[in-house]
Amino acid sequence: MSLRWVNTVYLQPFAVLPGASTEVQSPDPVGNYVKESNSSEPVTAIVSSSPIFTNIFSNVPVVWESELVREYHELGDALGQMTELDEGNAWKIEKPVFDAACFVAAGLFLTEQSAPRIFNHGPQSIVFNWERKKANLYLTISADTISALISSPERVQRRIDFSISDTSRPALLLSALQSANLEPTRHFRLRGNVPELVEVVG
Amino acid sequence: MSRNSWKLSADAKMKWGRVADTDSLFRLSTHPIAFKIQKKKLVFASAKVMNIKKQDDGSWASSFAWERYVPTTELVHDYGCRLSLGINNAARNSGTYEDSTRNIYCGAYQLRASDVRELPTAVDDVVSADVYHLIENDEFAHAHLRVILGGKLPIEGTKTAILVRLWEACYGPLTHVCDCDKQIDPHPYLALEPGPQGPYHDTRSRFERWRAVMGFRVCNWLWQKFFR
């Protein structure tokens, strides 16, 4: 269909679950759609006009675009400040680490992952951290490697190490993490209010 | 008999007893070391509570206070206040001290020696991990963590795994305001997060606590009189 005949585009989120039935679900009173899935297969979700991505974390919020842009702006600012700190400062990171972190962050942004918390334990790496209900995810990014760690309060569940040069897109890393983080039952949940239909005038 | 003849060998002087698996260790949390700037404010960073540093012999090290020689929470906090005082004095001596960024002791997190010794099974590429008594900077209760890595995996990722496991083993915090910091309002201790294992808990019986306090008083007296 030619877009020149369309002057209004509405954005609508929807999810595709494996073995989906024809059941139509209504949102809860605050506008959330909740669907529990007992399948171990990947769940595919499409939100707004973004490309299809694989849901990695069952409880990492799907944040809306403007909030995501703001979060990643703040992340970039923080990383830049850490590069400019004096030598010997506990939060200082080296320039090659900054470059690698920005590369990874860009990929995370493109796949619409929520921005991570960050910390470091020396100038030669930065750690991206997401806290999950059952376990936390840590990406340790150095100048040439990424180490992914999934850890619960009880034990380290999984560790995967990548070379930066081997990972063309961070989404591949996240997909690998998903395959490693096997759970017999996953709950897929869209968080946040269903937005008003957004009118985009073309 | 001269004073010097009473002094034992360096090893005997530096190590007074083995840290048992069930013994508690305390990791002290100070501001601004365990804090980070977020939206122009300093907020607590749990990931900064633990830290390991590379030593000349290739091992990785960290420091704790050993409960045997800080057997009460008051003594733990005395240790912490001295730690901050030492950091600030060092900054004054080097000309880098600023009152607005001075080191402030906020509290301590508790973990067990067994949590340290389990690192080789909990974290890939950790060959050995131990904690032992080592008097350092005249601190009688100082315990030294020593970790040896295999070097087969990226070191930075292994460091993260070690620090994460140690933090996940923490109870607390035990919060405190040193006398010299009473005018600070709000005090940064308010920002300390709960330890993942829950609040601090003392598993010693009343007798064990009494015995620990008596033992500390004897050892501390010996240390102050003959070995300092």
The tens place of each residue's pLDDT in chain B, 228 residues long, gives 444 444 444 444 455 678 999 999 999 999 887 777 666 666 777 778 889 999 999 999 999 999 999 999 999 999 999 999 999 999 999 998 988 888 999 999 999 999 999 999 999 999 999 999 998 888 989 999 999 999 999 999 999 999 999 999 999 999 999 999 999 888 999 989 999 999 999 989 999 999 999 988 988 888 888 876
- Tell me whether residues A151 and B164 touch, CB distance under 8 A: yes
- Tell me whether residues B157 and A145 touch, CB distance under 8 A: yes
Instruction: Say how many residues make up chain A.
Output: 202
Nearest Cα residue to B172 out of B26, B16, B4, B21: B26
Q: Are B188 and B84 in contact (CB under 8 A)?
A: no
- Tell me whether residues A119 and B45 touch, CB distance under 8 A: yes
Chain B closest-CA separation from residue A144 CA (Å): 10
Nearest Cα residue to B14 out of B147, B143, B146: B143
Residues of chain A with Cβ-Cβ distance to B45 below 8 Å are 119
CB of B124 within 8 Å of any CB in chain A? yes
Residues of chain B with Cβ-Cβ distance to A140 below 8 Å are 154, 156-157, 159-160
Secondary structure class of B21 (helix, strand, coil): coil
Secondary structure class of A80 (helix, strand, coil): helix
Residues of chain B with Cβ-Cβ distance to A75 below 8 Å are none
Name the residue among B122, B123, B164 with its Cβ closest to that of A138.
B164
* ipTM tops 0.90: no
The one-character DSSP state at B22 is T
Residues of chain A with Cβ-Cβ distance to B103 below 8 Å are none
